[in-house]
Amino acid sequence: MSSVNADRIPNNVHLADDKRLQRALEAWQPNFMRWWREMGPCGFQDDLVYLRTAVGVDAGDWAHFDYVKMPDYRWGIFLADPVADRTIGFGDAMGQPVWQQVPGEHRNTLRRLIVTQGDTEPASVEQQRKLGSSCPSVYDLRNLFQVNVEEGRHLWAMVYLLHSYFGRDGREEADALLQRRSGDPDRPRILGAFNEPCTDWLSFFMFAFFADRDGKFQLLALAESAFDPLSRTTRFMLTEEAHHMFVGETGVLRVVDRTAKIMAEHKKDGIDDVRKLGVIDLPTMQKYLNLWYSVSLDLFGGEISSNAASFFASGLKGRAKEEQCEDHTALSGHYAMDVPKDGSIQKEEVPLRNAMNEVLRDAYVDDCQRGVDKWNRAIASHGIPFELKLPNRRFHRHVGLYGGLWVDTQGDLLTEQQWKARRDEWLPSDADKSFVQSLMTKPISDPKQMAGWISAPKQGIKGRPVDFEYVRHGEA
Ligand SMILES: [Fe+2]
Ligand SMILES: [Fe+2]
């Protein structure tokens, strides 16, 4: 069991024993706080929020719930306990002891992997910073802030690795993580989906379902890493990430449930009729789904990737739940890939190691489908004949084999002109976005109320009622 030190930076990594590292992180801390004040949730920094704070890594007892002002949140550094005699679980060095230091030949690659993961954490806080002013309930407002503070902690997790193991380059990268800004044309965040605007709550729920789920799968793959500190830090991040999945999945579920219920009650199914009832029509939700799913698929990288092959070979990044795979070397296997060739899509056998991004994407797609099935069961329970569907994975892609192709939601190739003529059938149009925004013009700040476009959750947080005062405005 790890002991937790309650210094300025809560941690279970014996920070007090490493004065240089401690000083470096304590010097970074005020910059983080400046970033949080500037780019964190807008307008709620003095409110008391009923938040979960990680205080350790013991399975049943890792978090503490209480009211806290967000700037007083105790962002700490927590690594899952080491696994005794852990060995590398895949690739060319399979069976050898894991690394407690960064091997020189992998230094640049590992730093890049950590920076890329780390960059997504503050990016999502920036994307979501204005959502508080249109929250559908106090319960949802609290969940948004919970996700936000934990993304801040995930940034700390990556910055700890950069400071501890990558010397001066690592410190410079840690500073740069606070300097890029989501959506800023001059200094954007590294990955596309983390520069997309996320300015309404339907987008937020879709983001938490689709983009945070990419995070879950990247963390699962990094949890397999031969670099043991990375494995341990990502293993603990997954504990927090589960709540982000919950916020996305139940958020969309409550929106579709509300719409289907109102449609059934009023016996209406036309888009305009449904909108007049103050709920989001299901075809519009399908378009939001298409958008956030497709930009999230891009996060996994190219379908055929020599980088992915070398990450796997060298033990830097595995597959999700590698222990469940049969052949951990992946040297002989092949992957039947859909490859665009001469104006059509053809199957091509790709060496398995080169298809590792696609293997991870497959696991992600299956996981997404499970959530979509739940949403569809909610719609069906009201007797409404409509099914949400994941579009074909080639649709609206900007990265990899299908990047820049004009593909419809069925996966068929179109011309640019054909695609553009039908774009608004598949992706939110300006009119769709203004309609969604029109439902979310002011915050619901009475804990007893819920916006009309979303159902109440089944239960509250940590045994509290749904109408608990999860956020207390302006109290000292
Ligand atoms: Fe995160
Ligand atoms: Fe997350």
The predicted pLDDT at position 60 comes to 78
What confidence tens digit (pLDDT) does each residue in 88-130 have? Answer: 999 999 999 999 999 999 999 999 999 999 999 999 999 999 9
pLDDT at 1 over 50: no
pTM of the model: 0.97
What residues pack around ion ligand 1 (CB closer than 5 A)?
A: 121, 151, 154
- Residues near ion ligand 2 (Cβ under 5 Å): 212, 215, 244
Q: Quick: pLDDT tens for 431-445.
A: 999 999 999 999 999
Ligand located closest to 121 CA = 1
Is the pLDDT assigned to residue 148 strictly greater than 70?
yes
Task: Report the chain's mean pLDDT, rounded to a whole number.
Answer: 96
The percentage of residues in the chain with a pLDDT greater than 90, rounded to a whole number, is: 95
Per-residue model confidence (pLDDT) at position 4: 56
Parallel/antiparallel/unpaired status of strands 471-472 and 48-54: antiparallel
Tens digits of per-residue pLDDT, 318-333?
Answer: 999 999 999 999 999 9
- pLDDT bin (cut points 50, 70, 90) of residue 473 is confident
Distance 101 CA to ligand 1 centre (A): 24
pLDDT of residue 56: 85
**Which ligand places an atom closest to the C-alpha of 247?**
2
Whether the pLDDT of residue 156 is over 90: the answer is yes
What is the Å distance from ligand 1's center to 76 Cα?
14
pLDDT at 34 over 60: yes
Tell me: the pLDDT tens digits for 287-298?
Answer: 999 999 999 999
Distance 241 CA to ligand 1 centre (A): 6
Q: How far is the CA of 169 from the centre of ligand 2 (A)?
A: 26
